[in-house]
Structure 1
Amino acid sequence: MSLLTSFKALKEILKPCSNLSTTTSSSSSSSSLTQPSFSQEPEPALTISRKPPKSSLSKQLQRLGEPFRPLSQQNGSLNARTQQPQNSQGLRNEAQVVKFEDRQEEEEKEREFEDLGRTKLGQFQFEHTGPFEPLVLSLLGEVPVTRVPASINCRLLEHQREGVKFLYKLYLDNHGGVLGDDMGLGKTIQTIAFLAAIFEKDEESGESITLRGNQVGKKGPVLIICPTSVIHNWESEFSRWASFSVSLYHGTNRDLILEKLKAGGVEILITSFDTYRIHGSILSEVDWEVVIVDEAHRLKNEKSKLYLACLEIKTRKRIGLTGTVMQNKIMELFNLLDWVAPGSLGSREHFREFYDEPLKHGQRSTAPESFVRKADKRKEHLVSVLRKYMLRRTKEETIGHLMMGKEDNVVFCSMSELQKRVYRSMLQLPDIQCLVNKDLPCSCGSPLKQVECCKRIVPDGIIWPYLHRDNPEGCDSCPYCLVLPCLVKLQQISNHLELIKPNPRDEPDKQKKDAEFASAVFGADVDLVGGNAQSENFMGLSDVKHCGKMQALEKLMFSWASRGDKILLFSYSVRMLDILEKFLIRKGHSFSRLDGSTPTNLRQSLVDDFNSSPSKQVFLISTRAGGLGLNLVSANRVVIFDPNWNPAQDLQAQDRSFRFGQKRHVVVFRLLAAGSFEELVYSRQVYKQQLSNIAVSGKIENRYFEGVQDCKEFQGKG
């Protein structure tokens, strides 16, 4: 009764607001002396929050994020409430809202007490996008009727409703598929809405068929496998959108969670890729209702331990979520589809001969017309097959009308004179020369090539001896084992000379090798770069004099600073982030930073602080750690400091900002060192992206390259 008394007291307190509305509406704005005496109370008294006690769960969800007024008045009174006006018109609008709240209290009084002990849901990401009614998924005449609760459906966009229907059709057909929407289109929300439907989530009680006791048709639990960085994001989204029993199979309490799972107390079990790779044999014994793999492109390698572990999952209903269905090779597409729907694309060899080879050779710039026609036919056939198992939508075709658009710029930055000298010095090293001249005739007079004769190993090199310190005769891959280490060094020089210096955290042998390498390529310029050892000198590291990309970045940021732009600055190297951090401090920019060392439970707070704080201008992010699960729509400038071999990495970084909720035009700047190895990295990105567009989306792409991936006959930029 004490609670009822409190409600009545609150109601009495709010009643004078109605009287105030009547008085102010009948008097002019200038006749303040005719106001009732309580109008002279201090201003803060007028801004007291008048949110009524929470009523039933369905009504609560209906009004979440809303200014507590009838839905018919959404457009009319939203601005009045959000601006908190102090004039008479503002008070009149607020009084109307209070009257509506009083009626709601009368109608829902009994349910107030029933719901006091229930879990309170957080704010939703979206406003109402549709009517407050369930979304029926069942076919006509199907019993029981499966539907998405109205509390979820009213906040789904139209493309998300179509995505839920697609997932439900896969479920009915008893096989898996891929939801391949662009990043930022709400794949997580679509998945939760689908699960809420098949588990018959009741809007009022939050109960589901799995928790109503043993009965025929009881559903098993759902397994979600995702990157460690988004585990808590999944847990948070479930708590916002539906009432599921969610547990995390991660960390030290795995045994307790496993017991709870076996006892039937878990509806949704969330685990990470690494945890499942190690403990997958335990979880594979469970009969899962549905298995969902977030960022499913991680299953691109059929020989990886993760892929092999996921093959043991006991369910045919396997759903993959990814915005990058194919990243590097067309065969990655086969691996993913063959996991979600085994046999859907035939055997591996059939796919390679029927699709992979024709599509790659048909994209050659000088391919015969017959090859091009064959590739077009196979492309159309592949797309028609994929439609049965994959739904792929882009931002442009779904929410493009709700966004201001994105502009992608490639900025070729001239290296500093010192960088150029060091770059040329490295090209003269014996290790690099061995690779450059590998196909020339051997100098010993043999008819064999150098790579097949005297120059197969490089004992006088700097990189080669370290790689073969335990095997002076070389390895089976010599000299091709030098390719990756040399490319890494070339890319480091292109970005910043400090990156090639030895890392104090490395093993002593590696530090010694890196110091020797740095000494060889710096030569007489060693004093200009502060020696061969890593420097922590603030003035030296923050200076842009010897770094071409930082010189370009300095000019860009100078023009952005005066316009109030917010910037996401990505780099693949944590050491590069350290240098950029000193640069930002020197220039007086307020910034946040997120990399692999940032605790998972602190990442969301960093994101929220950056989005809400006008003073935070720059967010420094590691491409490895921050490519997934971050929503940074307050930023409208994105800088990719160093390109990645995998184009999906850079696209994921861009989409941290270019996603639903972005209110400004997004401009992306990809920095490349002009005339350096990075130009080849970019050309490889273009090649891979074109193959993905052809195989996945069936698009027609310009034929720029003569090279063919994984083909010795047609080697080149491809």
Structure 2
Amino acid sequence: MRKSAAPSLRTFGSKSVSVSERLAGPATKTTDENSSIIPSEYSDNSTAKLVYNVVWGKRSTKKHKTFEGDGTLTISSKTATLRNSDGSYLGSSTIKPEEIEIGCRLTIGSNELEIIEQTTGVQLPKRKTDDSEERQESESRKRKANPASFQPYLVLSHSVRKNSASKMNFGLEKQNDFEPLIMPEPPEEHQSKFNPTNRSIKEVNIIPCCARALRPHQREGVQFLYECLMGFRSPERFGCILADEMGLGKTLQCITVCYTLLKQGPYGLNVANRILILAPSSLVDNWCKEISKWLGQLRAFTFQIDSKHKIQDFINAKHIPFLLISYEMFAKHFDELKNVHFDVMICDEGHRLKNQSVKISTLLNQIDCARRVILTGTPIQNDLQEFYALIDFVNPNILGTYSEYKKTYETPILASQQPHASEWVIELGEERAEELNQLTSGFILRRTHDVITKYLPKKQEFVVFCKQTDLQRELIQRTLELYENNDDPANGLQIITSLKKICNHPALINTGNQNDALTEQIRQLVPSWQDMGPFDSGKLCVLDDLLHEMHKRQEKLVLISYHTKTLNVLQEWLNYLNFTNCRLDGTTPTNARNSIVEDFNNPDKDFFIFLLSAKAGGVGLNLIGASRLVLFDNDWNPASDLQAMSRIWRDGQKKEVFIYRFILAGSIEEKIFQRQLSKVALTGCIVDQSSKKEKLKLSNEELKDLFSTQQSNDECATHELLNCQCNGDGLNVQEASETGVQSTSEPSKSLQMDQLSSWQHYKYPIDSNLLAEMCMPNATENIVFIFRNQNDVEM
């Protein structure tokens, strides 16, 4: 059913109104038999027919109006005739043509209707308010003179109520540089199955206001989504995965395709009426803003579930196509939503569905919706079991049951990757991997930042190895001695947790709820908090210099940590320095997150530092108000680090970007970083994400390597692993091929050894010109080594 053209809270540029007012729509307008003079510009068309698409229903005094069906309203002279979508007569009345506006409601006989759009005939009367509207009117006359070029949805640009958005150029009028985006026609196999009556094939055009904004890779993505959701690539499959890296515009690509399916179809009918969009709670508001930005003028409305706006309100509001909801809210309201039919389901940050046994995956699989899209910026091929879960969600049973998949693909592929695999095993594994790739490549699309680098400002990345302070070195050594003298191997997890806290700041040892004997012994080693300060952390020493220099230059910084206790320490220190800051973590109310981001990005707002929890806001957030970002600690999963560091280098950024990854040299942090570089799979890491309780998943040999310490505090063990013979002055960098490390085929994925070899290398004492460019001119005594990469240097 078509959407209503009632006013919306989400209309871009309009004054906000409540959802209840939006559902009620405009006041009903009853026809008046007292005729008035038709504007002179329409006097020559007094006998012409005007035809409009409408939604209609029985007259009702209910506040939340529910329409019963689609129809057409034909106006000939002063007579308006209402017919159902099947052509059956519903009533007629006299009417003033000049009173007709898109979105207005009329009463004809016992039925009430709402105007959706004009389909044929002369254009609607318009108020000439500015030059842009006069230009639109001129283009309207051109379309009337050339009916072949007429597109029904273009008329909507003339009928929007006068507001600030009406003066914006949404690209609805013709421009010389506009290249139309036309979707492919359905293949013969699709037509034979879904078009048995041989209806004529209609050309499906992407609406110009979106098509003009799409970059080449996004146009490719829109076509990919359209073909998959329509079943063009396989008549039995309608799902897909868009796995573009962060910042490539996955949201706009989806919005474009969704509106196309709501309004058009290759066989003359629209494909979708209701669309479900699920996202992390921190991104729901962003989806609303983006839909309003791109579709607000076209009156495509959104609905969000909260304490005031219930599921039943959405069910009753047939003219609202988009339901935006967080995963947590979906689980809470599942019993009400499970019987609602959705034509398209989009799961943003959908890699959270990688475990089929978790509750949200189980619930979503019960929704009756074949067209499913997973959006993820995280590579999904790292774990074959997780890969199966995501594939099976978007296209159920395409790989058979998991036991069949494991026998056919997973086991042979994993066996072929073992160090002592025989030639026959390797050959079989490669054959099955190629077969799996061919089976799934048709509905998986992934592009890297390489496709938009030319549109973005310069970026510099730094891996900064900070020197341990005397207190950190002593605490790390004594903690490892306690572990060596302890016979319980289960204590490895407690040791890792304690070592990671010491790397950030020794005072963090006294935080947390761990009360085991080993942790208590470690706490006895830590001085009282009165005897410690910010400079007992090597990373804080470097950060202090960076912040003071940035404050002088009036630049903004995003400061990220995986631990809220670390954020507490950092925020307390920033407040002591009188550095203005804002913060977003797991405790931040969902309805406050968007305003915090907007305030920080606003150059007129006095926020110097954005404190961000990588777990709560490491995905999806756009923090282009900052030009520098510091990842204060690292995660076992390299994809998580990549997500967190992509917050500022993305579309809309105008300044040169500097991204710093702080690592405490010679510590467990450097060992974790090395594991990332060595492409160790996530399944071999310390935390089993599928369990509510953390479990140790490292062998004794791996623990021994993890806890091995570096004798010298002035050398970089990671640089030594590269077998690089450079002087550490950033000049004679080796090519990846010279290091003997195999090159990766996807350079923009998580950082790998061969890529790090081609970065610039700087050892202590660090070049003063580099430190000045890094905005930390006085930090040389606190830095052991720096790896540097610039995006205009081939990686």
SS of the residue corresponding to residue 374 of structure 2 reads strand
User: Which of 197, 209, 228 is matched with 1:170 structurally?
Assistant: 228
Question: What is the match of residue 383 of structure 1?
Answer: 437
Residue 337 of structure 1 is matched in structure 2 by 391
- Aligned with 1:605: secondary structure? helix
Using the alignment, how far apart are the partners of 2:218 and 2:460 within structure 1? Answer: 25
Which residue of the partner structure matches residue 248 of structure 2?
185
SS where residue 147 of structure 1 aligns?
A: coil
Question: Of 603, 608, 632, which residue of structure 1 is paired with 2:593?
Answer: 603
The residue matched to 2:534 in structure 1 has which SS? coil
Report if aligned partners of 1:129, 1:155 keep a CA contact under 8 Å in 2: no
Partner amino acid for 1:530? Q
- Give the alignment partner of residue 488 of structure 1, picking from 497, 507, 521: 497
Supply the AA of the counterpart residue of 1:498.
A
Mapped partners of 2:300, 2:177: distance in 1 = 27
C-alpha contact 2:275 2:345 (8 A) present in aligned 1:
yes
CA distance in 2, matches of 1:701, 1:603: 30
SS of residue paired to 1:613: coil
Instruction: Give the conservation status (yes or no) of the 8 Å contact 1:327–1:648.
Output: no
Confirm or deny: 8 A CA contact 1:501 1:518 kept in the other structure: no
Q: Normalized per residue, which structure has more strand?
A: 2
Superposition RMSD on alpha carbons, in Å?
4.2
The answer for the alignment partner of 1:27 in structure 2 is: none
Q: Taking structure 1 as reference, are residues 619 and 432 closer, same or farther at Cα in structure 2, changes over 3 Å only? A: farther
- Taking the aligned partners of 2:580 and 2:434, their CA distance within structure 1 comes to 50
Q: What is the distance in 1 between the residues matched to 2:630 and 2:509? A: 22
Cα distance, 1:521 vs. partner? 1.9
Distance 1:650 1:123 in 2: 38
Partner of 2:333: 279
Q: Deviations over 1:629-669 (max 9, x none)?
A: 32122323221111112222211111111112223443322
Contact 2:181 2:211 in 1 (8 A): yes
Q: 1:278 to 1:522 in 2, by over 3 A?
A: closer
What are the residue-to-residue correspondences of 1:9-24 with 2, within 5 Å?
none
TM-score, normalised with respect to structure 2 = 0.59
SS in 2 for 1:545: helix
Note if 1:156 corresponds to 2:214: yes
Amino acid in structure 1 at the alignment position of 2:307: T
Offset of 1:491 from its aligned partner? Answer: 1.4
* CA separation of 1:700 and 1:298: change in aligned 2, threshold 3 A: closer
Structure 1 residue 393: Cα displacement: 0.8
The verdict on how the C-alpha distance between 1:399 and 1:487 changes in structure 2, with shifts beyond 3 A counting, is same
**1:535-575 C-alpha deviation (Å, 9 max, x unpaired):** xxxxx5xx332112111222444554555543221011222
Matched, 1:139 2:185: yes
**How far 1:703 moved relative to its partner?**
9.1
- Determine the C-alpha separation between the residues in 1 that align with 2:749 and 2:428: 15
| Corresponding residue number in structure 2 for 1:309 | 363
How far did 1:279 drift?
A: 3.0
After superposition, the C-alpha distances for 1:32-53 in whole angstroms (9 at most, x for unaligned) are xxxxxxxxxxxxxxxxxxxxxx
Structure 1: how far apart are the matches of 2:175 and 2:484?
61
Counterpart Cα distance in 2 of 1:679 and 1:576:
18
1:592 corresponding residue in structure 2: 582
User: CA 1:484 to 1:129, structure 2 compared with 1: closer, same or farther past 3 Å?
Assistant: farther
| Other structure's SS at 2:307 match | coil
What pairs up with 1:160-559 in 2 under 5 angstroms? 160-173=218-231, 174-200=237-263, 219-242=272-295, 243=298, 245-253=300-308, 256-261=310-315, 264-326=318-380, 329-360=383-414, 362=416, 376-396=430-450, 398-429=451-482, 433-435=486-488, 479=490, 482-502=491-511, 510=513, 513=515, 520-523=521-524, 525-527=526-528, 529-530=529-530, 543-558=533-548
Supply the AA of the counterpart residue of 1:178.
I
Describe the SS at the equivalent of 1:433.
coil
Contact 1:327/1:689 (<8 A) preserved: no
Partner of residue 75, structure 1? none
* 8 Å CA contact 1:636, 1:666 repeated in 2: yes
SS of the residue corresponding to residue 318 of structure 1 reads strand
The one-letter amino acid of 2:468's match is M
Distance 1:101 1:408 in 2: 44
Output the CA distance in 2 between the equivalents of 1:372 and 1:636. Answer: 47
CA distance in 1, matches of 2:438, 2:340: 34
Deviation per residue, 1:74-114 (Å, 9 max, x gap): xxxxxxxxxxxxxxxxxxxxxxxx99669549859999995
Work out the CA distance in 2 between the residues paired with 1:349 and 1:696: 30
The unaligned stretches of length 5 or more in structure 1 are: 5-55, 58-97, 202-207, 210-214, 439-478, 504-509, 532-539, 705-718
Measured after TM superposition, the shift of residue 321 of structure 1 is: 0.7
Alignment partner, residue 657 of structure 1: 648
The number of residue pairs the alignment matches comes to 535
Return the TM-score normalized by structure 1.
0.65
The code of the aligned residue for 1:426 comes to T
Q: Which runs of 5+ in 2 are unaligned?
A: 1-35, 40-100, 103-128, 142-154, 188-199, 232-236, 684-742, 755-795
Judged with a 3 Å threshold, the aligned counterparts in structure 2 of structure 1 residues 547 and 698 are, in CA distance, closer, same or farther, namely: closer
| CA spacing shift, 1:188–1:218, aligned 2, 3 Å | closer
After TM superposition, give the deviation of residue 358 of structure 1 in Å: 4.9
Is 1:579 aligned to 2:569, yes or no?
Answer: yes
Q: In the TM superposition, what is the alpha-carbon distance from 1:190 to its structure 2 partner?
A: 0.6
2:703: which partner in 1? Answer: none
Give the counterpart of 1:116 among 155, 161, 176: 161
Question: 1:37 maps to which residue?
Answer: none
Q: Tell me the SS of whatever aligns to 2:486.
A: helix
Aligned residue in 1 for 2:763: none
Relative to 1, partners in 2 of residues 1:602 and 1:339: Cα closer, same or farther, differing over 3 Å? same
Distance 1:579 1:192, change over 3 A: same
Q: Distance in 2 between matches of 1:347 and 1:130?
A: 53
Q: Is the 8 A contact 1:129 1:156 kept in 2?
A: no
Alignment of 1:49-64 (within 5 A): none
SS of 2:391's equivalent in the other structure is helix
Distance in 2 (alpha carbons) for counterparts of 1:375 and 1:426: 43
Tell me how far 1:601 sits from its aligned partner: 3.2
Distance 1:99 1:303, change over 3 A: closer
Match of 2:558 in 1: 568
- Measured against aligned partners, the alpha-carbon deviations of 1:101-148 in whole angstroms (never above 9, x if no partner) come to 695498599999953378957979999999446522141896233221
Letter in 2 for 1:266: I
* Structure 2 residue matching 1:669: 3-state secondary structure: strand
| Residue of structure 2 in register with 1:678 after alignment | 669
Q: Which residue of 2 aligns with 1:648?
A: 639
Partners of 1:250 and 1:484 in 2: CA distance: 40
- Distance in 2, matches of 1:366 and 1:561, equals 55
Counterparts in 2 of 1:699 and 1:486: CA distance versus 1, 3 Å = closer
Deviation at 1:240, TM superposition (A): 1.4
- Pair 581,199 (structure 1): closer, same or farther in 2 beyond 3 Å: same
SS of residue matched to 1:223: strand
